[in-house]
Amino acid sequence: MSSPKHVAVIMDGNGRWGLKKNRTRNYGHSEGVKVVEKIIEAAVENQIKFLTLYAFSTDNWKRPNKEVKFLFHLLEKYIDNQLDKFINKNIKLNIIGNIGKFPKFLKNKLKKAQNLTKNNNKIQINIALNYGSKEEIIQSFTKLIKLSIRINERNVSDNLYTKGIPDPEILIRTGNRFRLSNFLLWQSSYTEIFFIKKLWPDFNKNDFKKIILKFKRMRRNFGGIK
Ligand code: FPP
């Protein structure tokens, strides 16, 4: 079977990893960012066209302020460090989620990075920030009703944050938890889900490649018989 076009990832287990190493949860997040870089490389090497990373959910505001602030700091540093690479390597950055409540400096930085990479087409990295799937579905329906547009699958999809992005063929969740945590609920109705034991900072390119290979050997019938 051909390569998947879209892979989505729930990068779970940073906090536990940090504590396991007798360090802080935030240390786990810092190490998690390094893995993000590697997995983007692996996605490019595997001809993936869309990689969606769940970096901050609508529920993550419930974490201690210190951790929320640190995640914002990491994201800012990440954009500062990677923007040139995105530009040079033809990588498009796209944010999904409602970042209205994010600090202004971060919003501006994210906007600028999206603008500068908007015509790139090697791969599109969607970072899900203040993302919640139920909220996303509700805002899609709300728009359709307001504009008196017919409610059908196509129109609902076209008003999600992921408009124009094909549904993911693969969803990976690291961290030995078996749930979707309000991530891409509409989009993953026929997605093959891979729950991985390893915590995110231990996940590597080889793990990613093995999943792609496993997927390629799977038969997908979308409810029919094959
Ligand atoms: C889940 O681990 C991870 C997060 C909520 C944040 C993910 C963020 C990063 C990997 C770094 C920033 C991302 C980018 C794209 C620069 P957890 O804290 O819920 O882990 P736990 O289950 O062990 O508590």
Q: What is the pLDDT of residue 2?
A: 76
CB 11 within 8 A of CB 200: yes
Q: What is the pLDDT of residue 3?
A: 84
Q: How far is the CA of 30 from the centre of ligand 1 (A)?
A: 9
| Nearest residue by C-alpha to atom 15 in ligand 1 | 55
Q: What is the pLDDT of residue 226?
A: 63
**Is the distance from the beta carbon of residue 106 to the nearest atom of ligand 1 less than 6 Å?**
no
**Is the distance from the beta carbon of residue 48 to the nearest atom of ligand 1 less than 6 Å?**
no
- What does the pLDDT look like over 30-64, one tens digit per residue? 999 999 999 999 999 999 999 999 999 999 999 99
| Nearest residue by C-alpha to atom 20 in ligand 1 | 13
Q: What is the pLDDT of residue 1?
A: 65
Q: What is the pLDDT of residue 117?
A: 98
- Residues belonging to the active site: 12, 60
> Please, what are the domains in the chain?
6-132+167-216 (3.40.1180.10)
Task: Output the pTM of the full model.
Answer: 0.96
**Is the distance from the beta carbon of residue 195 to the nearest atom of ligand 1 less than 6 Å?**
no
Give yes or no for residue 21 having a pLDDT over 70. yes
**CA–CA distance, 34 with 28 (Å, rounded to integer):** 10
